[in-house]
C-alpha cells in the first residue's frame, strides 16, 4: 500500500520541526509531537515568525477548547500575522489533544490552604469552578508546565493547574485531579503550514472580517470563532466550514461590502478532496460513513446489525421456522440461498425461484427484509424483483458482468470478498457497483484462502481494518464461512465485532445434521440468541417473556461483574487516598459521576440519579474500608 512506502521513506529524512508555544510537558508540546520534533517558543508571535521564516516546517496553535471555546490569545496572534503581506500560512490539519488538568502543589500544602493558583490564562479559564471553590487568586503564567516549576520554586500557599506529567516533572503532589469545568476536556490545535498543497483531510478554515462575511459563514453552518474587534475590523474571526457547505460558504462570501474580507487558510473552496485511491474514486471518496437502510435493517455510521438465516432455503417450513428464530434473536435481516454456488456439480444447487417465494413469505411473516445470492446476470432481474438485498458471493466477487447488472438493479448489494482477492481488488469490485448506480453497497469479509487448512478460511481482520481506513461503505464479517465449524463461529464473531465491523452475517440452522448445505458451521438458534445478547443487540419484539428474560439475565451478569470491579477500584482508590492524605469524600467527583449517568440515561432521569447515588454510597463504604483488593 502506498502509505507504508511513505512511512518507510519518512524514516530516512531529516526530522520535521514542529513549533509550539510553551515548554516541554505542556499540551502544545503534545500536539507538536504528533507533527514532528517539537520546538518550544515563548510566544505565539515568535513561533509564527519562525514558521514564516522557514525555521520550522510547521507549528501547532491551540484554536478551540471544549470548555472555553475559541482561544483568543492564539487566534488573535494568528490573525495579526495574517495581516502581514508576506504571510502565507495555511491550516493543514486539526489535532485534538485530551486535556486533563490537575491542581498540584509542593508537598505539605493542603487543598484548603491554597491561596494562589498559577497557570496559563486559557487553563485558568477552564477551571473556574475550582477557583471559586478554593477562593484562591488566579495568577497567569505563559505556560502550564512553567506554572508547575514556578510554584515548586516559590513555595508558600501556591498551587499550579497543569498536566499530571508537568506536575510530576516539577516534583509537585496532586491535590485534585481533572479540575476542568467540563470533562472530558480537550483542545483542538491547528497545524499551521507555510502555504503547502492542501491535504485531503485538512479542515476548511476561513479568516473573515465584516458583518456580511460573518453572517454568510454562519448561514453555511460554519463554526464561528469570533475575535474581539479592532478599530479597522470591528467584526472578525475564524470559521471552520463543514465539507457539505463549502459551496454555500463560498457563494455567500463572494460579494462583500467595502472593507470586508475572507481568506481561506484551509483548502480553497474549489479544492475537491481527492479520493483515498484514485483508481477507486467512488468507494474511497473522503466523506461521512454511508448508511444502508432497508426497513428495520440499518447499518453504517455507528448503526450495527446482524443478518442471519440458513445457508440454503430448503423448504417453506424450514425457512419460516428459521425466520422466526432469527427475528426472535434480534437479527434484522433474513438470509437464505436459493441459487447455491457449490464446488461439486453433484451437490445440492438450491431450489431456485420457488425457494425465493418461500424466503419472501417467511421474511414478510416476521417483518424482515431478505438477502439472497445471485450467481449470474440473468438471475438479477427475477431475484431483484422480490429480494430486498442482492448478495454477490465470494466466487463471483470479480464477475464484472454480474457486478454491472446487480449494480444497476436498484437493489442494495451485499458484496462478499473473494477468497483470492486482495483488499484493493475487492474495493475495485465495489467500484463497479457504485459506478453502475448502486446507492447501497455493503462489503463483507468472509475468510480468505491461506496455507492454513485448520479452518475453512482465514478471517482477515487486518484486511477489514485496511478496508475501514479506505472506504465509507458499511463493512460486515461472515464468521460462518471463515470458520467452517460451529464451535469457532462465536469467537470469530466477537473478534470481528471488537474490530468494529458494522455488522455480521451468520448462518443458522435448527437441524444442522440434516441441512442440505453448510450444516457443520451453522449456529443453533439458541447460540445465536446468546451471541446477539452479548453484543447488546435488542431481541425481536416477537420474543417470549422467557426469551427477553434471558437477555435481561445477561445484562444483570454484566452489571454485577462491573459493580464488583467498581468496588475493587473504590477500595484501591480509598487506599491511595489514605496514603496520600486526601479526604475520602470529594463532592466535585461525586457530581461528575452523577453527570456521567445522566448523560447515558437522560438528563432528567430520576433513574440515573438513583443509580449513581447507590453506586456512590457503596463506593464510599468500600473506600472507607480501604484495603486494596487482594486478588
Ligand atoms: C453463502 O453466503 O452462502 C456463501 C455461498 O458464501 P460465500 O460466497 O462467502 O462462500
Ligand atoms: Mn453457506
Quick one: average pLDDT of 191-199? Answer: 88
**Ligand 1 pocket check for 447: Cβ under 6 Å:** no
Is 163 in contact with 145 (CB distance < 8 Å)?
yes
Task: Name the percent of the chain in helix, strand, coil, to the closest 5.
Answer: 40, 20, 35
**Ligand 1 pocket check for 416: Cβ under 6 Å:** yes
**Ligand 1 pocket check for 446: Cβ under 6 Å:** yes
Cα 417 to averaged position of ligand 1 atoms, centre (Å): 10
Kindly report, residue by residue over 502-556, the tens digit of the pLDDT.
Answer: 999 999 999 999 999 999 999 999 999 999 999 999 999 888 999 999 999 999 9
Kindly report, residue by residue over 370-397, the tens digit of the pLDDT.
Answer: 999 999 999 999 999 999 999 999 999 9
Kindly report, residue by residue over 254-285, the tens digit of the pLDDT.
Answer: 999 999 999 999 999 999 889 999 999 999 99
Ligand that comes closest to the CA of residue 518? 2
**Atom 8 (ligand 1): residue with closest C-alpha?**
393
**Ligand 1 pocket check for 337: Cβ under 6 Å:** yes
**Atom 4 (ligand 1): residue with closest C-alpha?**
393
**Ligand 1 pocket check for 311: Cβ under 6 Å:** yes
CA distance 111 to 602: 33
- Report CA-CA distances (Å) from 324 to 312, 318, 508, 546: 16, 10, 12, 15
Strand, coil or helix: what is 66?
coil
**Ligand 1 pocket check for 481: Cβ under 6 Å:** yes
Is 83 in contact with 184 (CB distance < 8 Å)?
no
Ligand that comes closest to the CA of residue 416? 1
Residue 1 has pLDDT above 50, yes or no: no
Cα 376 to averaged position of ligand 1 atoms, centre (Å): 14
The DSSP code for 222 is P
Strand, coil or helix: what is 30?
helix
Name the residue among 401, 513, 416, 431 with its Cα closest to residue 463: 416
**Atom 6 (ligand 1): residue with closest C-alpha?**
393
**Atom 1 (ligand 1): residue with closest C-alpha?**
311
Residue 9 has pLDDT above 60, yes or no: no
Supply the pLDDT for residue 20. 98
Residue 297: Cβ within 10 Å count: 24
Of 587 and 45, which is predicted with more confidence?
Answer: 45
Cα 80 to averaged position of ligand 2 atoms, centre (Å): 65
Name the residue among 381, 373, 390 with its Cα closest to residue 517: 373
Quick one: average pLDDT of 472-481? Answer: 98
Cα 171 to averaged position of ligand 2 atoms, centre (Å): 63
Atom of ligand 1 nearest to the CA of 341: 5
- Pocket residue to mutate for ligand 1, from 319, 337, 389, 420, most atoms within 8 A of Cβ: 337
Residue 3 has pLDDT above 50, yes or no: no
Residue 492 has pLDDT above 90, yes or no: yes
Residue 535: Cβ within 10 Å count: 13
Supply the pLDDT for residue 6. 45
- Pocket residue to mutate for ligand 1, from 349, 371, 391, most atoms within 8 A of Cβ: 391
Cα 534 to averaged position of ligand 1 atoms, centre (Å): 25
Name the residue among 430, 414, 435 with its Cα closest to residue 502: 414
- Report CA-CA distances (Å) from 320 to 118, 258, 366: 70, 72, 9
Kindly report, residue by residue over 82-116, the tens digit of the pLDDT.
Answer: 988 788 899 999 999 999 999 999 999 999 899 99
CA distance 339 to 373: 7
Mean pLDDT (the chain, rounded)? 93
Dihedrals φ, ψ of 521, to 5°? -100, 0
- Pocket residue to mutate for ligand 1, from 395, 421, 444, 481, most atoms within 8 A of Cβ: 481
Kindly report, residue by residue over 316-333, the tens digit of the pLDDT.
Answer: 999 999 999 999 999 999
Atom of ligand 1 nearest to the CA of 447: 9
Residue 346: Cβ within 10 Å count: 7
**Atom 10 (ligand 1): residue with closest C-alpha?**
394
Is 223 in contact with 169 (CB distance < 8 Å)?
no
Residue 157 has pLDDT above 70, yes or no: yes
Is 494 in contact with 306 (CB distance < 8 Å)?
no
pLDDT confidence bin for 629, thresholds 50/70/90: low
Cα 481 to averaged position of ligand 2 atoms, centre (Å): 6
Residue 604 has pLDDT above 80, yes or no: no
Name the residue among 591, 613, 617 with its Cα closest to residue 129: 591
Residue 234: Cβ within 10 Å count: 12
Burial of residue 545 (CB within 10 Å: 0-12, 13-18, 19+) is exposed
**Ligand 1 pocket check for 394: Cβ under 6 Å:** yes
**Atom 3 (ligand 1): residue with closest C-alpha?**
311
Which residues pair with residue 278 across a beta bridge?
Answer: none
**Atom 5 (ligand 1): residue with closest C-alpha?**
393
For residue 62 the three cell numbers come to: 491551540
Q: 149-153 long-range contacts, Cβ below 8 Å, gap at least 24?
A: 150/118, 151/104, 151/105, 151/106, 151/118, 152/106
Cα 343 to averaged position of ligand 1 atoms, centre (Å): 11
Ligand 2 is an ion; its neighbours by CB within 5 Å are: 311, 518
Kindly report, residue by residue over 12-53, the tens digit of the pLDDT.
Answer: 567 899 999 998 888 999 999 999 999 999 999 999 999 999
Atom of ligand 1 nearest to the CA of 396: 8
CA distance 491 to 112: 53
Kindly report, residue by residue over 410-455, the tens digit of the pLDDT.
Answer: 999 999 999 999 999 999 999 999 999 999 999 999 999 999 999 9
pLDDT confidence bin for 628, thresholds 50/70/90: low
Atom of ligand 1 nearest to the CA of 394: 8
pTM for this predicted structure: 0.85
Kindly report, residue by residue over 618-627, the tens digit of the pLDDT.
Answer: 999 999 886 6
Supply the pLDDT for residue 54. 94
Cα 459 to averaged position of ligand 1 atoms, centre (Å): 14
Residue 189 has pLDDT above 50, yes or no: yes
Kindly report, residue by residue over 556-577, the tens digit of the pLDDT.
Answer: 999 999 999 999 999 999 998 8
Cα 519 to averaged position of ligand 2 atoms, centre (Å): 8
Q: What angle do CA 107, 109, 111 make, to 5 degrees?
A: 125
**Ligand 1 pocket check for 341: Cβ under 6 Å:** yes
Q: What angle do CA 29, 34, 35 make, to 5 degrees?
A: 95
Supply the pLDDT for residue 4. 44
Cα 503 to averaged position of ligand 2 atoms, centre (Å): 17
CB half-sphere exposure, 297, CA atoms < 13 A: 28
- 184: preceding bond cis by omega (within 30 degrees): yes
CA distance 625 to 294: 54
Name the residue among 366, 370, 314, 364 with its Cα closest to residue 338: 314
Strand bridging mode 101-105 / 173-176? antiparallel
Ligand that comes closest to the CA of residue 417? 1
Amino acid at each position: 500500500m502506498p502509505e507504508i512506502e511513505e512511512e518507510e521513506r519518512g524514516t530516512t529524512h531529516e526530522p520535521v520541526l514542529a513549533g509550539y508555544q510553551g515548554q516541554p510537558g505542556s499540551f502544545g508540546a503534545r500536539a507538536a509531537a504528533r507533527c514532528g520534533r517539537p520546538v518550544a517558543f515563548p510566544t505565539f508571535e515568535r513561533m509564527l515568525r519562525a514558521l514564516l521564516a522557514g525555521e520550522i516546517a510547521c507549528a501547532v496553535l491551540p484554536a478551540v477548547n471544549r470548555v472555553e471555546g475559541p482561544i483568543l490569545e492564539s487566534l488573535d496572534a494568528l490573525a495579526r500575522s495574517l495581516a502581514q503581506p508576506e504571510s502565507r500560512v495555511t491550516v493543514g490539519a486539526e489535532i485534538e489533544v485530551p486535556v486533563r488538568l490537575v491542581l498540584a502543589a509542593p508537598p505539605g500544602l493542603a487543598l484548603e490552604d491554597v491561596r494562589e493558583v498559577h497557570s496559563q490564562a486559557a487553563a485558568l479559564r477552564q477551571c473556574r469552578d475550582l477557583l471559586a471553590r478554593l477562593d484562591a487568586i488566579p495568577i497567569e503564567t505563559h505556560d502550564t508546565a512553567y506554572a508547575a516549576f514556578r510554584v515548586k520554586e516559590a513555595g508558600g500557599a501556591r498551587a499550579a493547574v497543569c498536566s499530571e506529567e508537568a506536575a510530576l516533572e516539577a516534583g509537585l503532589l496532586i491535590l485534585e485531579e481533572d479540575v476542568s469545568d467540563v470533562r472530558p476536556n480537550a483542545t483542538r490545535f491547528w497545524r499551521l503550514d507555510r502555504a503547502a498543497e492542501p491535504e485531503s483531510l485538512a479542515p476548511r478554515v476561513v479568516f473573515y472580517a465584516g458583518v456580511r462575511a460573518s453572517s454568510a459563514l454562519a448561514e453555511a453552518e460554519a463554526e464561528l470563532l469570533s475575535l474581539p474587534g479592532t478599530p479597522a475590523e470591528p467584526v472578525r474571526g475564524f470559521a471552520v466550514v463543514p465539507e457539505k457547505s463549502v459551496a454555500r460558504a463560498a457563494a455567500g462570501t463572494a460579494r462583500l461590502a467595502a472593507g470586508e474580507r475572507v481568506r481561506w487558510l484551509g483548502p480553497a473552496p474549489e479544492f475537491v478532496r481527492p479520493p483515498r485511491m484514485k483508481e477507486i474514486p467512488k468507494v474511497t471518496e473522503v466523506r461521512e460513513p454511508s448508511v444502508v437502510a432497508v426497513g428495520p435493517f440499518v447499518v453504517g455510521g455507528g448503526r450495527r446489525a446482524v443478518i442471519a438465516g440458513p445457508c440454503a432455503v430448503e423448504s417453506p417450513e424450514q425457512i419460516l421456522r428459521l425466520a422466526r428464530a432469527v427475528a426472535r434473536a434480534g437479527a434484522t435481516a433474513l438470509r437464505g440461498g436459493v441459487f447455491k454456488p457449490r464446488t461439486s456439480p453433484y451437490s445440492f444447487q438450491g431450489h431456485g425461484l420457488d425457494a425465493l417465494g418461500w424466503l419472501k413469505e417467511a421474511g414478510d411473516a416476521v417483518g424482515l427484509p431478505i438477502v439472497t445470492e445471485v450467481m449470474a446476470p440473468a438471475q438479477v432481474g427475477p431475484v431483484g424483483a422480490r429480494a430486498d438485498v442482492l448478495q454477490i458471493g465470494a466466487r463471483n466477487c470479480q464477475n464484472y458482468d454480474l457486478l454491472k447488472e446487480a449494480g444497476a438493479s436498484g437493489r442494495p448489494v451485499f458484496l462478499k470478498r473473494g477468497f483470492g482477492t486482495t483488499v484493493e481488488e475487492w474495493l475495485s469490485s465495489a467500484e463497479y457497483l457504485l459506478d453502475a448506480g448502486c446507492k447501497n453497497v455493503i462489503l463483507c469479509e468472509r475468510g480468505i484462502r491461506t496455507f492454513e487448512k485448520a479452518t475453512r478460511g482465514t478471517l482477515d481482520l487486518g484486511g477489514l481494518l485496511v478496508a475501514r481506513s479506505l472506504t465509507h461503505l458499511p463493512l460486515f464479517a461472515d464468521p460462518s464461512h471463515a470458520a467452517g465449524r460451529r464451535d469457532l463461529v462465536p469467537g470469530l464473531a466477537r473478534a470481528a465485532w471488537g474490530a468494529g465491523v458494522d455488522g455480521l452475517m451468520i448462518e443458522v440452522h435448527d437441524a444442522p445434521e440434516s441441512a442440505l448445505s453448510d450444516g457443520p458451521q451453522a449456529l443453533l438458534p439458541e447460540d445465536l440468541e446468546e451471541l446477539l445478547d452479548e453484543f447488546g443487540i435488542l431481541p425481536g419484539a416477537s420474543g417470549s417473556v422467557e426469551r427477553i428474560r434471558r437477555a435481561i439475565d445477561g445484562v444483570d451478569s454484566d452489571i454485577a461483574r462491573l459493580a464488583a470491579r467498581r468496588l475493587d477500584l473504590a477500595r484501591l482508590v480509598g487506599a491511595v487516598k489514605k496514603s496520600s492524605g486526601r479526604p475520602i469524600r470529594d463532592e466535585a467527583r461525586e457530581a461528575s459521576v452523577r453527570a456521567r449517568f445522566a448523560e447515558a440515561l437522560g438528563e432528567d432521569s430520576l433513574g440515573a440519579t438513583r443509580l449513581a447515588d447507590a453506586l456512590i454510597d457503596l463506593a464510599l463504604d468500600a473506600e472507607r474500608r480501604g484495603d486494596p483488593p487482594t486478588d
